[in-house]
Structure 1
Amino acid sequence: MRILGIDPGYAILGYGIIDVKGNHFTVCGYGAVTTDSSMEMPDRLKHLYQQIMEIIQEYEPDVASIEELFFNTNTKTAILVGQARGVAILACANSGLEINEYTPLQIKQGLVGYGRAEKKQIQSMVKAILNLTEVPKPDDTADALAAAICHGHCAGHQKRLAKYK
């Protein structure tokens, strides 16, 4: 299974693509889509959409794993990130991908086993699980890879549970 992980943002949107076979994870690619602060928001969203579509076309993932928004005290920022998240979901949906959404707590729990893990712990686990020589930068790419790994862990459990329905 090939998973596209997305850490949504309107200035920096992190993405990571991994292959999962059993309990083995292999990184296919990762990076960040950035927009300039001088751009109007509709242009930023359009750029994000186009770049995500190109990533999907290049890597041909089977599913997407997108981080849900966490509570943000800055309402304007939360709304703007929500718009970027919506664009990412739209790009995945328009590409026919199954979309899976995980809270930051679920992602932390899926990687470290503890929902209140520190960012450095998550980054270290991403590096270890994917057998990387260094932690992916910027942080948004490591977060996107963490979202993909989380789904890789959860998908197996979901399949097993579906047998009992």
Structure 2
Amino acid sequence: MRILGLDPGLRNTGWGIVDAVDNRLRHVADGVIRPATDAPLAERLVQLHDAIVAVIAEYGPDEAAVEETFVNMNPASTLKLGQARGVVLLVPAKAGLKVGEYAATLVKQSVVGTGRAAKEQVGMMIRTLLPGCLAATPDAADALAVAICHAHHRGTQQRLAQAVAR
């Protein structure tokens, strides 16, 4: 199972790809999408869209996972982040991928063991869990953490669905 993790943002959207086979995880790729900050909002959203389409085309993930948005003190910033998140949810769904959504605290708890972990702790655990992965930026590390969270929780969700179906 190849999983695309996405950490949405209008300035920086982190992405990470992991392969999950049984209980093993393997780092495939990661990066950051940086739309032009001087471009109009609509153009930045198009750049975000096109970059995610390219990642999906290049790596062929089976599923995707997106970190949920937290509400901050600035309503305008929250609205813009929500628009970027809409694009981040839309692109994999339009490509036919199942898309999971996870709260930041659940992502951190799944990777570090505590929902209040600092970005540095997340990055360190990503490099520990995925040998050979550099995750050069916190956004890429966060995206890989979202993919790992999805890998852990999708198995539980499948087992629950099978139990209910019986």
1:2 aligns with 2:2: yes
2:81 counterpart residue number: 81
CA drift at 1:162: 1.8
Alignment of 1:7-156 (within 5 A): 7-132=7-132, 134=134, 136-156=135-155
Deviation at 1:116, TM superposition (A): 1.3
Structure 1 gaps of 5+ residues are none
Letter in 1 for 2:44: R
TM-score (norm. length: structure 1)? 0.95
**Could you say what secondary structure the match of 1:164 adopts?**
helix
The whole-number CA distance in structure 2 between the counterparts of 1:12 and 1:62 is 23
Q: TM-score, normalised by structure 2?
A: 0.95
Separation in 1, partners of 2:76, 2:24: 40
Distance of 1:5 and 1:40 partners within structure 2: 26
Give me the CA root mean square deviation.
1.1
Distance in 2 between residues matched to 1:63 and 1:133, nearest whole Å? 20
1:119 deviates by 1.7
- In 1: Cα distance, 2:137 partner to 2:26 partner: 19
- Structure 1 residue runs of 4+, over 2 Å off? none
Whole-angstrom distance in 2 between the partners of 1:3 and 1:149: 8
Letter in 2 for 1:156: G
Q: Secondary structure at the match of 2:38?
A: coil
SS of 1:163's equivalent in the other structure is helix
Q: Does the CA-based 8 Å contact 2:27-2:133 persist in structure 1?
A: no
